Structure 1
């Protein structure tokens, strides 16, 4: 299948951006892959893009009519750089924008919630993807995955709270649908996996799949905040630790049928993703 649309993927080398890029290319869509170093992506046109360098924005938007938006990482006020770019995108002829947000951040909420609120006023065709926490946090390059590999531990302030963890491949499949569907999506989509799991459950499944013992260490909010502050700006660290506290209170203990409804198959389970992406101890 081919079409005449060109989609700019911002964050094309990231967890969901790389998968969305690959899936779009597989089905014959034209893709402009944007990253800070213009990293070559097979089958796509690569372009340099930096949220904080406006001189990179015009080239990225050239000949584009659709956008996949990954907010700048670690920024507690992404609207300050995203909204000027989005106004520029609209003026350049972009018709459809799909924003990656979070199930924990409602429209008008903190951080990317302000961008979510503004999106319908900027584009006639839009969608906001609000996935739950990524399963790849435990299999990729996230701090949880690194801690699992290095120490056999997962450290959170989430207590026994459960989360509908979701596979990044499923997020990308929904993104592709939202970017390419002939009908304007104009919707807020909460994405989860097929079951809600605690971090204790994640540790148990990871142990069973890898053959190496993994345990979940329960931290207080203050311990988690201070640990994260050593790695990132204090405001962002406090926000992330606060999200763990919200999980502990039960706010993320839910599942939705959005993935099944939009892509026609059930979302992948964490066990399936772990078996696909984790290395078993020999």
Structure 2
């Protein structure tokens, strides 16, 4: 009798990857936890995986029939390394792939959009998760979290534009369904929270919940681009600032029923997230 096949979770200790790993394990699924450092994950054997090191791909894919894909962080051209891996995965027997994309980038668009476009031609069963901005962007060591802690401010070039912020826990719950349901989605899925909010709304919610005044400081596209360019290449900084400008123009002012439809439960609100994750007075 053949051993049950496993799911390779790329980025298994990351924001969505660790939640996907936990969700799969909770359903009794076999998981291989992939990462550059092969960091141990409770309930799943860790395996070394590096997009830029093809020598790590074979062991990571051994005994695997489906994969959860988180693109290499900070890459402006992830297709360069992802597409060779995906062709290798298909040849190794993988038949279902679920890709973490972005609501801001459609199939054929820049960066991960190139991988999105190629996915249906590589696998019989697939899905592209296209979440809106993560609620987790306001916690941990992210730029917004640091500016909230240090300056009591969220700085964006979004103006009064609104975003359907989504909890990574809801993204992971959809990913688990996309990986394990008998019928794969075979489409892309826009993921949002239950409502759209401006960054001014976000600042007001954080202020109300934590008791610490937080304000939204509006920057111009050029000001935000230059702030980013002090830390990352100008081309990438321009792309990130451009996403803020698109929000200002209404590109993210939408909600979807995807979380409810695929998981059977309503997506979490930003207020509930802040109450759970952001310490009072922080």
Question: What are the equivalent positions in structure 2 for 1:111-122 lying under 5 Å apart?
Answer: 111-122=111-122
Which runs of structure 2 are paired with 1:72-111 in the superposition (5 Å)? 72-111=72-111
Of stretches 231-240 and 246-255 in structure 1, the one that deviates more from structure 2 is: 231-240
| 1:131 aligned residue | 131
How well do the aligned residues superpose, as a CA RMSD in angstroms?
1.1
Residue 249 in 1 paired to residue 249 in 2? Answer: yes
Deviation digits for residues 140-178 of structure 1, max 9, x if unmatched? 332111211222111111111000000000000000000
Q: Work out the CA distance in 1 between the residues paired with 2:6 and 2:101.
A: 22
CA contact (8 A) 1:74 1:233 kept: no
For structure 1, the 5+ residue unaligned runs are none
User: What's the offset of the Cα at 1:63?
Assistant: 1.0
Q: In structure 2, what is the Cα distance between the partners aligned to 1:7 and 1:120?
A: 19
Q: 1:236: Cα distance to partner?
A: 1.5
- The corresponding residue for 1:140 is 140
Moved more, 218-227 or 231-240: 231-240
Q: 1:221: which partner in 2?
A: 221
Moved over 6 A (4+): none
**1:221, distance to aligned residue in structure 2 (A):** 0.6
Q: Residues 189-208 of structure 1 correspond to what in structure 2 (within 5 A)? A: 189-208=189-208
Is the Cα–Cα contact under 8 Å of residues 9 and 33 in structure 1 kept in the other structure? yes
Q: Shift of residue 281 of structure 1? A: 2.1
Counterpart in the other structure of 1:31: 31
Distance 2:61 2:237 in 1: 32
Matches within 5 A, 1:242-281: 242-281=242-281
SS in 2 for 1:281: coil
What secondary structure does 1:136 align onto?
helix
Aligned twin of 1:47: 47
Aligned with 2:97: secondary structure? strand
SS in 2 for 1:65: strand
| Counterpart residue number, 1:61 | 61
- Contact 1:133/1:163 (<8 A) preserved: yes
Q: CA deviation at 1:107?
A: 0.6
2-structure distance, mates of 1:230, 1:54: 32
> Which stretch has the larger CA shift, 96-105 or 55-64?
55-64
Counterparts of 2:97 and 2:203 in 1: how far apart (Å)? Answer: 36
In the alignment, the residues of structure 1 paired with residue 50 and residue 217 of structure 2 have an alpha-carbon distance, to the nearest angstrom, of: 36
Q: Which residue of 2 aligns with 1:233?
A: 233
TM-score by length of 2: 0.97
Give 5+ residue unaligned stretches, structure 2: none
Which whole-Å CA distance do the structure 2 matches of 1:167 and 1:193 have between them?
7
Distance 1:188 1:209 in 2: 34
- Give distance in 2, aligned partners of 1:21 and 1:139: 21
